[in-house]
Amino acid sequence: MDGTQILTLGLGLEAPWILKNQYLDTAVSPHRLDLYVEAERGSLYPCPECGKACQAHDFADKTWRHLNFFQHHCYLHARVPRTKCPDHGVKRIEVPWARPGSDFTLLFEQAAMSLVKEMPVLAVSRQLEISDKRLWRIVHHYVGRMLGELDLSKVVTVGVDETASRRGHRYVTVFLDMQRKREPVIFAVPGCGKDAIQAFSAFLAAHGGDPNNVVEVVCDMSPAFLSGVTEHLPKAEVTVDWFHIVQTFTKRLDEVRKKERREQGHPSRCAGPC
80-113 tens-digit pLDDT: 999 989 999 999 999 999 999 999 999 999 999 9
The pLDDT of residue 99 is 93
DSSP string, the chain: --HHHHHHHHHT--TTEEEEEEEEE-SSSS-EEEEEEEEPTT--EE-TTT--EE-EEEEEEEEEEEEEETTEEEEEEEEEEEEEETTTEEEEPPPTTS-TT-SB-HHHHHHHHHHHTTS-HHHHHHHHTS-HHHHHHHHHHHHHHHHHH---TT--EEEEEEEEEETTTEEEEEEEETT-SSS-EEEEEES-THHHHHHHHHHHHHTT--GGG--EEEE---HHHHHHHHHHSTTPEEEE-HHHHHHHHHHHHHHHHHHHHHHTT--SS-SS--
pLDDT at 49 over 70: yes
How confident is the model over 108-148, as pLDDT tens digits? Answer: 999 999 999 999 999 999 999 999 999 999 999 999 999 99
**Measuring CA to CA, which residue among 81, 138, 86, 95 is closest to residue 113?**
138
How confident is the model over 249-262, as pLDDT tens digits? Answer: 888 898 898 888 88
Q: Where are the domains of the chain?
A: 1-97, 105-149, 157-246
174 φ, ψ to 5°? -115, 135
Predicted TM-score (pTM) of this structure: 0.77
pLDDT at 1 over 70: no
**Measuring CA to CA, which residue among 97, 109, 102 is closest to residue 17?**
97
How confident is the model over 58-76, as pLDDT tens digits? Answer: 899 999 999 998 889 999 9
The pLDDT of residue 241 is 78
The pLDDT of residue 132 is 95
**Is 157-246 in CATH node 3.30.420.10?**
yes
Q: How confident is the model at residue 168 (pLDDT cuts 50, 70, 90)?
A: low
The pLDDT of residue 80 is 92
